[in-house]
Chain A
C-alpha cells in the first residue's frame, strides 16, 4: 500500500466532509454480544449430531429395526415356535411381489424323474410351472423343473411366508424379528451390566486412588489379560446356554473398558477446583462422586455404550455359531445365521435375511457411534 503524505493529500481525501471526522464517543465498548442464546454442551452436541446426515440415517435405521422387532412377531399371524413339518423350507412368498416374479414361492427342483411329474400325489395340480431342462441319465428321462413350492408341498393357497420357513416349517419373518428382539435385549442388558459394574469399579478406583486404585487396577489388568473369547466360551460352558448366561459371559471381561474410562475421567476431574471446594465444604464422598464428578463422564460413556452394543450383538452371534447361543426354540440373529449356514447352498434365503439384518444393525450402530463421538468431541471433527 502506498503511503500518503499528510501535507500533500490526494484530492479524494482532501475533500472528505468534516462530518466524517466527528468523534463517535463510544463510552462503553462491550464484548460482542452473542446473537444466539447460550447452548449447553449436550444441546450443542445434539445439534451437531442432527446436522450429520450419516448419523441421522443410521439412527433412523436403528429405530426402524427396533420398531420392527417389537411389532413384527405379533402381527405376522405365526408364532416363532410354531412348527409345521409339512411346510418346511418354504421359499419366500410375498403378496403383490409374487406377480413380478420375485418372492413368488417358486423353486427349481433338479434331477427329477420326468415320469413322476404326472403323478398328482407328488406334483399336485398346478404345482409344475416350467420344465427348464430335459436330459437323459442312464436311460431314465430326467428334468430340472420349476415348481410352485407352496403348491408342491400342499400348503394352503392363502399361506404366505415373506422370508420363507426353516427346517421345522417355522415362519422366518417372525423368527427373524423375534431373534432381533432377543439379540438387542442381550446387547442392551450386557452393556447395561457392563456400565453398572464398570462405573462403580472405575469410580472407586479413580476417586480413592492410592493403594485401593493400585489393587483394583491390577485385578482388572489380570482379568483383561485373559483372551476374551476363551473366557467367554468357558463361562458359557459353565453357566449353560441361555439369555442370562450370555449376558453374564459378556460381562465377565466387558466391564473393564468402561471402568478404565471412568477411572481416567475421575483422575481428570477430582483435582478440579470446584471439586476441592465442595470437599472443603464437607460434601460427603458419595455426593462428590455422583453429583460432581460422574456427570463429566456421561459423554464418553454414551459413546462407549454405542460402540459396545454392536460388539455384544457380534459376540452373541459368535457364540451361537459355536452352539453356545440362546436355548432352542428361542431364536436370535446368531442362531438363525448358524442354522441358515447349515443349508446355505440349498436355501440361501435362510442365511440372507439374518445376514442382511445383522450387517445393517452393525453398520448403523458403528456409524452412529462415530457420529456421536464426533458430536461429543468437536476437536476430533473430520478425523477418521
Chain B
C-alpha cells in the first residue's frame, strides 16, 4: 500500500466530473448516470464495480464517445489531455479512440468482424488513419499478436475469427485495442463471456500488458472477485452513482457502504460455510430514481433518513469515501456494524493477502 501515499502526486490522465447521462426510452427519461466523478491516475488500474444497470458501461461509453443515439449527456465533463471529451465532435473523435484510449469488449465472440481476416482487423487503423506502410503494419500486428500470446502469429494472421477459440479471440481484441498504442485501456467486463480457466489467463495478460506499457486502466466489472487482483482503486457504483470509492485494500478490508457489504458477502469463496448471501430486492427503476439513498429499499440497515434525503460522500480517509448515512456521527449511536459473516470473511482475506496492494 505504498502506492497510496504517492497517489496524490500522481498525474491525473483522465478526469470525469459530475457526469450525468440520460436515455430517451419508451417509458420516459432513463437516468442511467446521475452525476459521477472520478480521476484516473497514470499507471493505475481503476475498477468500477456494480451490478448491471448501475451505469458503469454507460460511463465508459460516454468516455469513448460511443453512446447510443438516444443518449443525452445532460451535464458534466470528461477531461482528457486538456479537452472535454463530451464536446469533441464525432468527426474528430477517431483521433482519440484507439490511438489514445483503447477499449476491450465484453464479448469477444461478437466483437470481431466475422468475414474479415484478423490480420486486417488489427492493421486496419494503422494503415488507414496512421498511414503506416503495409509491411510496417503487418510487422507491428505480428509483434502485438506475439505480445498477447497468440502462437504461430504468421499463420494466424490470415485466418478468420471463426477459426479462433473464445480466449484467443479476446486476445485478438486486446491486440486490436493495443494497435494504436493507447495510454488508457478500458476493459468492459473482458472476461465475463469466457470460461473460468481462460478468465484468469486473460486477466494476467491485461496485468502484464499494463505493466509493460505503463498503461492506465479502467476495469469495469460486476464481479468483485476479479477486481481483487487487478485494481489499485475501486469505485462502487449503484443506480447511476458512485456510492463508495477507495483503494482496493480499503474497499475490501474496510467497506463502509451497505451495498459494498452486500457485494462482498455475495462473492463466492472456498471457505464460506454459510449460505452465500444474495442481495435481496431488485435494482430501482431508473426512470423514477428513488429519493434519498437508492439502495435503502434493499438494505437491512436502512434508516428513516435514507428515504428522505440523499446521503453525501462522507470522507473516511484521504482516499476512501462512501455515500451512506451510516457514516453520519448520529447514526453511530445506533451501533450498526457490518454483518458478522462478512467480518469473518474479511479477516480471512486479510490473512491470505488476496488483495492487490
Q: Do chains A and B touch in the complex (CB under 8 A)?
A: yes
B303 and A20 within 8 A (CB): yes
Which residues, 19 to 33 on A, are CB-close (under 8 Å) to B? 19-27, 29-32
A24 and B18 within 8 A (CB): no
User: Is B27 an interface residue, CB under 8 A from the partner?
Assistant: no
User: Is A380 an interface residue, CB under 8 A from the partner?
Assistant: no
Contact partner of A18 (CB less than 8 A), chosen from B298, B301, B306, B330, is B330
Residues from chain A with a CB closer than 8 A to the CB of B300 are 25-27, 29
User: Is A345 an interface residue, CB under 8 A from the partner?
Assistant: no
A23 and B315 within 8 A (CB): no
Report the Cα distance A2→B35, complex, angstroms: 12
Binding-face segment, B125-133, B225-233, B320-328: B320-328
How many residues of chain B get a CB closer than 8 Å to chain A's CBs? 35
Residues from chain B with a CB closer than 8 A to the CB of A281 are none
A2 and B313 within 8 A (CB): yes
Binding-face segment, A5-13, A73-81, A195-203, A243-251: A5-13
Contact partner of B37 (CB less than 8 A), chosen from A1, A6, A13, A20, is A1
Contact partner of B330 (CB less than 8 A), chosen from A1, A16, A29, is A16
* A22-B281 contact, Cβ under 8 Å, with A3-B321, A13-B312, A29-B297: no
Which residues, 1 to 32 on B, are CB-close (under 8 Å) to A? 18
User: Is B69 an interface residue, CB under 8 A from the partner?
Assistant: no
B325 and A21 within 8 A (CB): yes
A21 and B304 within 8 A (CB): yes
B303 and A6 within 8 A (CB): no
Overall SS of chain B's interface: mixed
A21-65 CB mask vs B (1 if < 8 Å, else 0) is: 111111101111000000000000000000000000000000000
User: Is A4 an interface residue, CB under 8 A from the partner?
Assistant: yes
Residues from chain B with a CB closer than 8 A to the CB of A22 are 303-304, 334
B314 and A6 within 8 A (CB): yes
Report the Cα distance A19→B301, complex, angstroms: 15
How many residues of chain A get a CB closer than 8 Å to chain B's CBs? 23
B27-51 CB mask vs A (1 if < 8 Å, else 0) is: 0000000010100000000000000
- How many A-B residue pairs have C-beta atoms within 8 angstroms? Tell me: 82
Report the Cα distance A6→B330, complex, angstroms: 10
Residues from chain B with a CB closer than 8 A to the CB of A5 are 315
Report the Cα distance A260→B333, complex, angstroms: 70
* A31-B280 contact, Cβ under 8 Å, with A1-B37, A21-B331: yes
Report the Cα distance A18→B333, complex, angstroms: 10
Report the Cα distance A27→B280, complex, angstroms: 11
Residues from chain B with a CB closer than 8 A to the CB of A27 are 300
Contact partner of B305 (CB less than 8 A), chosen from A9, A21, A29, is A21
B302 and A26 within 8 A (CB): yes
What is the CB-to-nearest-CB distance from B222 to chain A, in angstroms, rounded to a whole number?
A: 18
* A1-B35 contact, Cβ under 8 Å, with A21-B331, A29-B280, A29-B297: yes
User: Is B299 an interface residue, CB under 8 A from the partner?
Assistant: yes
What is the CB-to-nearest-CB distance from A15 to chain B, in angstroms, rounded to a whole number?
A: 10
A21 and B35 within 8 A (CB): no
B334 and A30 within 8 A (CB): no
What is the CB-to-nearest-CB distance from B251 to chain A, in angstroms, rounded to a whole number?
A: 16
A20 and B299 within 8 A (CB): no
B147-166 CB mask vs A (1 if < 8 Å, else 0) is: 00000000000000000000
B304 and A6 within 8 A (CB): no
Which residue in chain A gives the minimum CB-CB distance to B35?
Answer: A1
Closest 3 CB pairs of A and B: A20-B305, A3-B315, A29-B280
> 21 A-B residue contacts at CB 8 Å?
A1-B35, A3-B312, A3-B315, A5-B315, A6-B328, A6-B329, A13-B312, A21-B304, A21-B305, A21-B325, A21-B334, A23-B301, A23-B303, A23-B334, A24-B302, A24-B303, A24-B306, A26-B300, A26-B302, A29-B297, A32-B282
Residues of chain B touching chain A, judged by Cβ–Cβ distance below 8 Å, are 18, 35, 37, 280-282, 297-309, 312-316, 321, 323, 325, 327-331, 333-334, 336
Known: A13-B312, A30-B280. 5 other contacts (CB 8 A): A1-B37, A3-B321, A20-B305, A21-B304, A29-B298
